[in-house]
Structure 1
Amino acid sequence: MTLKKDVVSLDDILDASGRKSFGFFLLLAGIITLAPLVGDIPGVPTLMGAFVIIISFQLLIRRENMWLPAFMRNRTLKQEKILRALKRLKPVMKGIDRILKPRLTFLTKGFMQYVIALICVATAAVMPVMEFIPFSANIAGVILTVFGLALLASDGFLVLFAFALLGTAGWLIFIN
């Protein structure tokens, strides 16, 4: 892979990825919430919840590219660092690509993106409350991670899996 610049900004990456960036940031928020010792720090689930609401709102209003404040969009990395990271991630990404693939794509496009965005807003809205119940924010992290992966890979099977997780979590919460 060859990049045309010595330095690449987050703005360049967001422009290149277009609507796929929404899935990436949902995935990132989910992984941070799930991360051992990070997601359990007081305030992190609330912060990730606020971030997810910002992402999901932009998906709801049909933005083509993710909006982030200029101070974030203008952050840069040297091309060599990006290429080094991509080289390290390549084996992991090949493994993920074998599992995830575009299927049942109607579940990741159009109206269903609104449904996913609304579910992500609802999930994010309860994340501050989850901080008071140990490890419960991990449930939200899993759901956000799966929805993020589904949008990135246009994998409707993952959307169905996320719905099943959501239903199971709701059932467990309301049964007890």
Structure 2
Amino acid sequence: MSAGATKKQGQHAADDGPLLEIMDELESLTSQDEVSFGDVLDRLGDHGLLPLVLIPALICATPLSGIPGVSMICGVMIAILSFELLFRFRRAWLPGFVTRRSIKGRKLRDGLETAEPYVRWIERRTKDRMTFLFHRPMIWVPQGLCVVTGAAMPFLEFIPFSSSLCAIAVCFLVMAMLTEDGVFFLIALLPYGAVFYLIYRVVT
């Protein structure tokens, strides 16, 4: 781990919530020249499936989505992990062609540093609201949305900004489920309107 990352983790360890703790775990991998999605799975697998869905969504919501193939791989990861979450798999599984894909540690660190202030701002404003949304059968709605969104992302790569908007929606959905905040579930629906508008502009 870089000295900067260590210092930042030390400064914020006391007040980090679940979202920032996940980001800190991911940032600890960025001292490597290349970070594979298999490395991410190994590092965060013990945290459960829900945080694992957040990681590819966070990556694709940053400028890293501009790297060719990143949106497709992140979409596949979101779809598979969300499916496993929906059907209550005990352990995460991803195909080899996904776990072998990697990105530069430096680029991953830059992307996380871009996202960190936004995630911190959001996390400080989350609280238990409309918690009925996060119990069965209502919890199937955000989980199912994550599955469908991830499956759609590889097909949306040709539409500028659409994959990033989908990833932002998934980020809000996962944040809502992690913190049981129904307001953020409702906010998560807003990017879908922008995606449908972009699709409409392309096909008409």
Give TM class, smaller chain: 0.5 to 0.7
Q: Output the TM-score relative to the length of structure 2.
A: 0.59
Assess, with a 3 A threshold, how the Cα gap between structure 1 residues 108 and 165 changes in structure 2: closer, same or farther.
Answer: farther
| Greater relative contact order (CA < 8 Å, ≥ 6 in sequence) | 1
Which residue of structure 2 aligns with residue 156 of structure 1?
182
User: How far does residue 145 in structure 1 lie from its aligned partner after superposition?
Assistant: 0.9
Instruction: Give 1:35's aligned residue.
Output: 62
**TM score, norm. by length of structure 1:** 0.67
Shift in Å at residue 142 of structure 1? 0.8
User: Number of matched residues?
Assistant: 145
Matched, 1:117 2:117: no
SS at match of 1:144: helix
Tell me if structure 1 keeps the 8 A contact 2:78–2:146.
yes
Which residue number in structure 1 is paired with residue 17 of structure 2? none
Q: 1:99 aligns with which of 125, 131, 148?
A: 125
Secondary structure in structure 2 of the residue aligned to 1:29: helix
Q: Which letter maps to 2:187?
A: F
State the partner residue of 1:138.
164
Instruction: Give the RMSD, CA atoms, in angstroms.
Output: 3.1
Deviations 1:20-73 (A, max 9, x none): x41x2222121110111x11112111101110111111122123x44246x98x
Distance 1:161 1:97, change over 3 A: closer
SS in 2 for 1:112: coil
Instruction: Provide structure 1 residue ranges, at least 5 long, that are not aligned to the other structure.
Output: 2-8, 73-88
Structure-2 separation of matches of 1:12 and 1:135: 29
For residue 170 of structure 1, what is the aligned residue in structure 2?
A: 196
Native 8 Å contact 1:48 1:124 kept in 2: yes
Question: Kindly, what percent of the aligned residue pairs are identical?
Answer: 34
The residue that corresponds to 1:67 in the other structure is 92
Task: Check the 8 A contact 1:103/1:155 in 2, yes or no.
Answer: yes
Q: Of 38, 46, 60, which residue of structure 1 is paired with 2:72? A: 46
The residue type paired with residue 133 of structure 1 is: I
> Is this contact kept in 2: 1:40–1:135, CA < 8 A?
no
